[in-house]
């Protein structure tokens, strides 16, 4: 088998293909995504103007229609009907993986609901690129997307994530980055952090330090922040969380602790295990205390 034959494949009729596109460097366009775009009957794009430039670069000429947050409800039925007719449809966004902080998830859900075939192609992803490049733990992570613009809602979202030990990944706009860093410092205190800007583009930039240092750098700069950003922040320290949990329960007995968990709906075995873990004592000690009376 030749190299060219090893990646070529025939797209299936009546199938929706979610095709990732480059974050900025056109060399990151995958061969499979190109094959789908070349063979598709119709292409739906988040921004037809931007996608037209991409398609033109690769000499692809196909009917191009819009599919974005403001028209996805009305376009959903149109796309489903085209799939039922047997047309092959490619869905692309401005950059990266459809469905990740971009349109796409609704169409997957619609296809599942209507039992219509779809396929998601692997490819560029800003959050995964930034995570690996951050130097922070990649074992457990949570993608949080964009924080709410409303101050109260933003504070609530950050407070909710305060005890999360996963590495946290956020997308942010340049005009809001200082506000976001200040809010994170207020909610979490100082943590290790990495910021990637203009990923894969000519002016790609990485800053790896702490929330405090990142904020200080932006405030000291005479040039306003520019470019799309991905902020990766270390999760809460598990040892500190465990100690805080022990402190929270120290004023009641293990027996009362178990009783409270059971009142909350947990079975006795699970409640005993959780009490033992939180208090840092063997399960058998909890059992013995429960059976003293």
Full DSSP string of 34-75: HHHHHH-SEEEESSHHHHHHHHHHTT----EEE--TTTHHHH
Indicate whether 22 and 99 sit together in one domain. Answer: yes
Please give the pLDDT value at position 151: 95
Mean pLDDT in residue range 120-140: 97
Indicate whether 158 and 72 sit together in one domain. Answer: no
Name the packing angle between helices 283-290 and 254-263 (round to 10°): 90
Indicate whether 155 and 114 sit together in one domain. Answer: no
Indicate whether 103 and 89 sit together in one domain. Answer: yes
Please give the pLDDT value at position 217: 96
Indicate whether 152 and 245 sit together in one domain. Answer: no
**Cα 205 to Cα 123: distance, rounded to the nearest angstrom:** 21
Indicate whether 20 and 34 sit together in one domain. Answer: yes
Q: Mean pLDDT over all residues of the chain?
A: 91
Full DSSP string of 245-258: HHHHHTTS-HHHHH
Closest Cα to residue 30, out of 12, 8, 5?
Answer: 8
**Cα 107 to Cα 16: distance, rounded to the nearest angstrom:** 9
Full DSSP string of 156-212: HHHHHHTT--SEEEEEE-GGGHHHHHHHHHHHH-S-EEEEEESTTSTT-EEEEEEHH
Question: Does 250 have pLDDT greater than 80?
Answer: no
Q: DSSP E strands: which ranges in 68-117?
A: 89-92
Last residue of a domain, one of 71, 101, 120: 120
The enclosing domain of 159 has a CATH number of 3.30.950.10
pTM over 0.85: no
State how many domains the chain has: 3
Indicate whether 204 and 286 sit together in one domain. Answer: no
Question: Does 247 have pLDDT greater than 80?
Answer: no
Please give the pLDDT value at position 278: 81
Q: Are strands 192-197 and 229-233 parallel, antiparallel or unpaired?
A: antiparallel
Please give the pLDDT value at position 53: 96
Closest Cα to residue 100, out of 146, 40, 48, 157?
Answer: 146
CB pairs under 8 A, 24+ apart, for 211-215? 211/181, 211/184, 211/185, 212/185, 214/181, 215/178, 215/181, 215/182, 215/185
- Give the tens place of pLDDT for each residue, 6-16: 556 789 999 99
Please give the pLDDT value at position 1: 39
**Cα 278 to Cα 243: distance, rounded to the nearest angstrom:** 8
Question: Does 111 have pLDDT greater than 90?
Answer: yes
Indicate whether 116 and 13 sit together in one domain. Answer: yes
- Structural domain boundaries, residue 275: 239-290
- Give the tens place of pLDDT for each residue, 190-207: 999 999 999 999 999 999
Confidence grade of residue 4 (pLDDT, cut at 50, 70, 90):
low
Indicate whether 168 and 264 sit together in one domain. Answer: no
Question: Does 171 have pLDDT greater than 50?
Answer: yes
Indicate whether 143 and 86 sit together in one domain. Answer: no
Indicate whether 205 and 248 sit together in one domain. Answer: no
CB count within 10 Å of CB 120 equals 16
- Asked if 82 and 44 touch (Cβ cutoff 8 Å), the reply is no
Indicate whether 155 and 130 sit together in one domain. Answer: yes
The enclosing domain of 41 has a CATH number of 3.40.1010.10
Question: Does 107 have pLDDT greater than 80?
Answer: yes
**Cα 211 to Cα 105: distance, rounded to the nearest angstrom:** 32
Last residue of a domain, one of 93, 120, 147: 120
Mean pLDDT in residue range 54-61: 97
Last residue of a domain, one of 120, 139, 170: 120
Higher pLDDT: 102 or 92? It is 92
Higher pLDDT: 251 or 34? It is 34
């Amino acid at each position: 088998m030749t190299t060219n034959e090893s990646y070529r494949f025939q797209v299936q009729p009546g199938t929706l293909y979610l095709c990732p596109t480059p974050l900025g460097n056109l060399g990151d366009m995958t061969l499979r995504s190109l094959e789908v775009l070349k063979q598709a009957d119709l292409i739906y794009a988040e921004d037809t103007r931007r996608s037209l430039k991409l398609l033109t670069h690769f000499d692809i000429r196909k009917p191009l229609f819009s599919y974005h947050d403001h028209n996805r409800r009305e376009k959903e039925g149109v796309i489903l009907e085209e799939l039922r007719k047997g047309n092959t449809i490619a869905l692309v966004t401005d950059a990266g993986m459809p469905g990740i902080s971009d349109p796409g998830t609704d169409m997957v859900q619609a296809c599942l609901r209507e039992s219509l075939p779809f396929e998601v192609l692997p490819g560029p992803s800003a959050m995964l690129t930034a995570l690996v490049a951050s130097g922070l733990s990649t074992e457990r992570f949570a993608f949080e997307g964009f924080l709410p613009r409303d101050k109260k809602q933003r504070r609530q979202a950050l407070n909710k994530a305060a005890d999360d030990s996963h590495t946290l990944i956020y997308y942010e706009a340049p005009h809001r980055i200082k506000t976001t860093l200040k809010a994170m410092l207020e909610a979490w205190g100082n943590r290790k952090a990495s910021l990637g800007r203009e990923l894969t583009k000519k002016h790609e930039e990485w800053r790896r330090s702490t929330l405090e240092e990142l904020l200080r750098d932006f405030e000291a700069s005479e040039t306003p922040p520019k470019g799309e950003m991905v902020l990766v922040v270390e999760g809460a320290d598990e040892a500190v969380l465990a100690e805080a949990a022990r402190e929270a329960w120290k004023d009641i007995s293990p027996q009362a602790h178990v009783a409270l968990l059971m009142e909350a709906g947990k079975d006795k075995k699970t409640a005993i295990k959780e009490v033992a873990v939180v208090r840092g004592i063997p399960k058998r000690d909890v059992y013995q205390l429960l059976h003293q009376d």
